[in-house]
Structure 1
Amino acid sequence: MTKDKLSELTARSLKVREHIIRMTAGGGCFIGASLSCVELMVFLYSELLNVDADNLDNPARDYLFLSKGHDVPAMYGTLAELGFISPDRLTQHLKSTDSIYWHPNRAIPGVEFHSGSLGHLPAVAAGVALDCKLKGEANQVFAITGDGELNEGSVWETLLVANAYQLNNLTIIVDRNQFQANIRTEELIPLEPLADKFTAFGCAVKVVDGHDYTQLEEAFKGVPFSDNKVNVIIANTVRGKGLPSIEARADRWFCAFNDNEIQQLFEELHGHAAAIIESESLTVR
């Protein structure tokens, strides 16, 4: 990935995080999980998916299903930055005059399917992938899940069926931020060794840093990983990424902040981003 492209994506991620922070007002949002998913969402829509604001109904488009629907502020923010919806529309978050609320709604351009009840959309994605295969079409189908969502048996049932039909046009992306709601995954129902579990269910698996655009590019350009297996990308992420005061905190799952708190978070976000840039600059020197 070129330095200019990396700078462009990093700047876009910062803007998306600003949108997420703003959406904590007026009733709150699931900020922790949304912040962990930003780079995934920005990379997919900016660099990978054959879909944009002008081809939403194109039958040749790629499909993205956000199964961990509570991450939708990251999706909304990305769609706003890429012109699918007006950024001003995000101010309607949780208002009865719009469909911008806590989970994806197909009334929002770019949202393929409603979600909210965890464990449902991998099966929907598999159905779409099978339909594309039967029609001989080249569409790629992606579903983003949470790691806590993997406690749902429907996810694993879907993988059995999808691999039986050799759906190598289906990619499951796990936002592995180590938390579900207000507890660590490994403290409730341990998932590790997670990659081995997916392999045992017949999938081809890669593990990446979900905040590293270079690693994401390298992983996704290899899709499909196999001629006859479902692709799985486990993206290791940090809940609350970009705001050190809430990173990896179980109690910062859902937050509602007032205007003063939001301003403080903006300052923290930009201060942290500037410190990272300076650190990387010093390293290069």
Structure 2
Amino acid sequence: MSWFLFKRALTFAATLLCASAVIFFVLEVLPGDAALVRLGDTATPEAVAALRAQLGLDQPAAARYGAWLSGLVTGDLGTSVAYGTPVSELIGERLVVSLPLALLAMLLTTVAALALGIYAAAHHNKWGDLGVMGLSQLGIAIPSFWFAILLILVFSVQLRWFSAGGFPGWTEEAGGGFWPALKALVLPAVALAAVQAAILARIVRSSVLEVLREDFVRTARAKGLSRRSALWRHVLRNAMVPVVTVMGLQFASLLTATIVVESVFYLPGIGRLVFQAIANRDLVVVRNVVMLLAGMVVLVNFVVDVLYGVIDPRLRRDG
């Protein structure tokens, strides 16, 4: 197991390094000048040159890339050009909204998909199966931002159960609290989870049905186990490897999908920060946020690889 983890950790580190190089040099070739954007078109060349020197933009690209990598390791992400605030503080303030939103959406996705997928597989070719598949097809076809608007119209405008947008904060000092903050994330999480749950439910159904046809399941049934007992005791664990794969990809997708939904619900998360940074050409913020999202995606894939070894020891030995 230790060699398995060591190889996965090396892959994790190499992927992060490659991602950092791609992110940095892609942003380098973008047109425009951050110093000129900040000072305006009426700024003198001397003022622009002084600001470029202050921001380190007069240094070679390789030197700035090395300094950025050093800052990533030490936690010094630099200072935002537009806000004049350390980037780590900006990201920390927004991450307490985006990360709980993604986690809540993933929780709703997992619970709904497992329940619907297992129910559909257990009632294969019956009305329950057909109903779940029809519902999942409808969920896949609905864009998350459109579903978010529909949720606002029904539960905020008509029923008035939830607020239409905004975020009160996690602390009472900020005017909110844990439950008001969690309540503000419910509708955005449901909007995000609807499409992902529809996709995952179909994967769960297909994986469970495939395992149900295996010889060891027929042997277990021949020994006297009921279909329900065989399903819960033998089928689910063997069916989880492809399901965990899709769940890992979906969580990474949820992290980036929050950008659109946050705009619909006016949440002060990573999504709005990215939009504002792009509008101000604040490349320091854009670079670090994109690197953060890439790091989260790679980390999720690393966790999925480790879960493979936990679920199926054969993969651990082969590795």
Question: Aligning the two structures, in what range does the TM-score lie when normalised by the shorter sequence?
Answer: under 0.3
Higher relative contact order (CA 8 A, sep 6+): 2
Higher CA-based Rg? 2
TM-score (norm 1): 0.25
Structure with more helix by fraction: 2
Structure with more strand by fraction: 1
TM-score (norm 2): 0.23
